Structure 1
């Protein structure tokens, strides 16, 4: 089926959302057991990690780890926000820079100022939104960022979104408790889909829509390592304890340009393959053979593909052995873990 579809359903008793683009599963959100990114804790500092500029914190969901802090002693009360999922056996990653994020607005308590997304380029729209931002944040010292989706939204909807995020931020920041507690929970998949999948799409909410629209079949395929790249080309995405290994194959095509074609196809398909599988951390690409002069074409395609991806990914570059490495935020739970 052509076009974009957002499907809201449940799988294995868990709330889930799927984004299908031209009949292919492009993104998948499934509710997990660990605290989700966006959760805000009132936490108590435990013990610093000497030489690393970090400190462990006590939260109601276990130990958390905060990087880049100085001058914080043991027993202090801090407000921190979950930034991603912890690796097995490790502490929950958190930050002390809170964000209150919705579809149109992001309120930033620690960063004052009113800002608009750079993607909003129409001067008249920018002026209208900036005026709305000033009205909605009047008397508040917190910062505000209006997201690109605000450009096409009704002004009343944007104002309502700003007011809701401002009220939540003021409530959380004004908290005066002293014991570890979850002050807000991260958004569940259906809210996340509404918040972040803002491009035009058909919305399907019927119970059982995952089965009737082919999502379950796509999820079954994603639980395997093989990702078809067109023709006889493919890549295998396989997580190990240390890293995610990606192996690119040209198949039966033995022509001189086969390697570049397969690697370009890998670059375009890789962001969705990682999103759907919920994979992050260190990622190593074992690419098909291609001339060194073609590396720039591959890198340009890879950058463009990840530019449209909403998970922070660092393109680290080439290794002496000719592999390409990335470092990706663990923003999702691995599919194999959620459905185990």
Structure 2
């Protein structure tokens, strides 16, 4: 049997670490220069694009082939996570039914560096007949895509980072940067806030930090080690041990916080050699303990603990009434920290 052979390949030159470093730095410089060159070119067309998307009653349908398609997916995801409903529609699949995903209420953001992608240009006339506003992102203002579009975002770069000036590198970086610029401008124009961002990322760490409130994690009711100011020291210690919170909370008859006694306070009393049996809760409690509102974010309670180097924060109402307590372990279990 005749053995199979792989196609002949050119000889790989010896690895040159200095040349590799040079190429890497050169690629970064070229891509940075490409983005920087777009800054003064960003003008009225960009502003109009932001206005068109803000006024859109549907979604932004992002389209692109090849590397522009990969960039388009990223732009669609960024828009969707920052308050602008968006989806990616593959141009080739659009010609075989997926164009039904686009409605007259939508805006199409079409990406093509050359502006001559056959698959993309094939669906543009249909989109225009549908009455869809087309925003082109292209490196050639005289291209077919640009001529079909209502607005053109200029993503031209003088050269690719590829040493052959062939592989889409600087051009795709420019597209990503321009897409980010559009998303950021829209985010700001919508008054998008961190909590809005968190709502679209509920499963992530940011979502937990921005959506979890103290009220969601705090201990309350019978779980709190409450004692009156005149409670004997030994009885206060029994309450601390029973509730296993590491503190005793001193409250008056109206349940307003008067002070707090911690495990650390106990160690310091023992070190001083005091007669603990003669003490009461009021005489050993620290006045003006650190407190937080039940409506505060749990991450704010974490910041307070870190700043004060404590492990428990009391939760109180505006009138000083005890509502609960939250510990560093509660925050860790909820993965807020």
TM-score bracket, shorter-length normalisation: under 0.3
TM-score, normalised via structure 1 length: 0.23
| Higher RCO structure, 1 or 2 (CA under 8 Å, sep 6+) | 1
Compare the two structures and name the one with the higher helix fraction: 2
Mark the structure with the bigger radius of gyration.
2
